Chain A
Amino acid sequence: MATELPRKEAAVIGVGWAGGIIASELAKDGIEVIGLERGAERTVDDFIMQKDELRYAVRYDLMQDLSKETLTFRNDRDMRALPMRQMGSFLLGTDLGGAGVHWNGQCPRFLPYDFEIRSQTIDRYGEDKIPDDMPLQDWGISYEDMEEYFAQFDATIGTSGEDNEMTAPRSTEYPTPPMVETPAIRMFKEASSDLGLHPYQGASANLTEAYTNPDGQTIQQCQYCSFCERFGCDYQAKSDPIITVIPTAKETGNFELRTHANVRRISYDGEYTDGVYFIDTRTGEEFFQPADMVILTTYVMNNTRLLLESEIGTPYDPDTQSGVIGKNYCYQIMAEAQGYFDQQFNLYAGAGALAGQLDDYNGDNFDHGDLDFIHGGTIQLTQTGIRPINTNPVPPGTKQWGSEFKEANAYYLFRTLSVGSQGASMPYVNNYLDLDPTYTDRFGDPLLRMTYNFTEQDRNLAAHQTQRMEEIMQEMGANEIVANPDIGDYNIMPYQTTHNTGGVIMGADPETSAVNNYLQMWDCENLFVVGASAFPHNSGYNPTPTVGALSYRAVEGIKQYYENPGPLA
Chain B
Amino acid sequence: MADENDEQNSGISRRQFLKNSGYIAGGLVGGGLLGGVFAQNFLGTTDAPDIDTDDEVDTTSPGELTQARMFFKRQEDFDVLSAAVERIFPDDDTGPGAISLAVPYFIDKQLAGEYGFNSREYMEGPFFEGAPTQGPQTGLLRRDAFLHGVRTIQNIAEDHFDESFFDLESETQDEILEAFEEGEVDMTGIASDEFFSKLRTATIEGAYSDPVYGGNLNMDGWRQIGYPGSQMSYTNVIEEEEFVEMDPVSLHDHHE
- Where the two chains meet, the residues of A that have a C-beta atom closer than 8 Å to any C-beta of B are 48-49, 51-54, 58-60, 65-67, 70, 73-75, 79-80, 82-86, 88, 180-183, 223-227, 336, 338, 344-346, 348-350, 385, 387-390, 392-393, 400-403, 406-407, 409-410, 413-414, 418, 438-440, 489-495
Contacts and interface: CB of A to CB of B under 8 A. Distances in A.
A403 B92 contact: yes
Interface stretch (B15-23, B33-41, B70-78, B239-247): B239-247
Given A414-B243, A493-B8, A401 B89 contact: yes
Given A223-B232, A400-B200, A409 B225 contact: yes
Contacts of B243: 344-346, 414
A80 B130 CA distance: 8
B92 A406 contact: yes
Contacts of A440: 124
Given A84-B122, A88-B6, A402-B87, A346 B240 contact: yes
Contacts of A82: 128, 130, 134-135, 137
B225 A413 contact: yes
A45 to B, nearest CB: 14
Interface of B: 1-8, 87-90, 92-95, 115, 119-124, 126, 128, 130-137, 174, 177, 200, 203-205, 208-210, 212-213, 221-222, 224-228, 230-235, 237-241, 243-244, 251, 254-255
A52 B255 CA distance: 13
| Central interface residue in B90, B123, B131, B135, by most chain A CB within 10 Å | B135
28 contacts: A49-B254, A51-B251, A53-B209, A53-B210, A58-B209, A67-B122, A73-B135, A75-B131, A82-B134, A85-B121, A88-B5, A183-B239, A223-B235, A224-B234, A224-B235, A226-B234, A345-B243, A346-B237, A388-B221, A400-B2, A400-B200, A402-B90, A402-B174, A403-B90, A403-B93, A409-B225, A410-B226, A492-B134
Given A224-B235, A349-B237, A410-B94, A83 B251 contact: no
Contacts of A66: 120-122
Contacts of A349: 234, 237-238
Given A85-B122, A388-B208, 8 more contacts: A51-B254, A52-B209, A58-B4, A67-B123, A223-B232, A350-B234, A492-B135, A494-B3
B3 A88 contact: yes
Classify the interface of chain B: helix, strand, loop or mixed: loop
Given A183-B241, A226-B234, A390 B4 contact: yes
A401 B239 contact: no
A420 to B, nearest CB: 10
Contacts of A226: 234
A373 B240 CA distance: 41
A346 B225 contact: no
Contact of A407 (B87, B93, B120, B200): B93
B234 A54 contact: no
A48 B232 CA distance: 11
Contact of B227 (A60, A388, A492): A388
B210 A414 contact: no
Contacts of A60: 120
A344 B106 CA distance: 31
Contacts of B1: 336, 338, 393, 418
Nearest to B97: A406
Contact of B120 (A67, A223, A439, A490): A67
A49 B124 CA distance: 33
Contacts of B121: 66-67, 85-86
A73 B243 CA distance: 44
A58 B5 contact: yes
Classify the interface of chain A: helix, strand, loop or mixed: loop
Nearest to B139: A85
A383 to B, nearest CB: 8
B123 A51 contact: no
B98 to A, nearest CB: 10
Given A67-B119, A346-B240, A495-B3, A86 B135 contact: yes
A225 B3 contact: no
Contacts of A53: 208-210
A490 B131 CA distance: 11
B179 to A, nearest CB: 14
A305 B93 CA distance: 55
A73 B128 CA distance: 13
Contact of B4 (A74, A345, A348, A389): A389
A317 B216 CA distance: 53
Given A53-B209, A349-B237, A401-B89, A85 B123 contact: yes
B230 A493 contact: no
B251 A406 contact: no
Contact of B205 (A389, A403, A491): A389
B228 A348 contact: yes
A388 B225 contact: yes
A389 B232 contact: no
A350 to B, nearest CB: 8
Nearest to B120: A65
Nearest to A80: B128
B230 A73 contact: no
Contacts of A75: 131, 133
B238 A346 contact: yes
A293 to B, nearest CB: 34
Nearest to A415: B243
B227 A413 contact: yes
B128 A346 contact: no
Contact of A225 (B115, B177, B233): B233
Given A225-B232, A495-B5, A401 B200 contact: yes
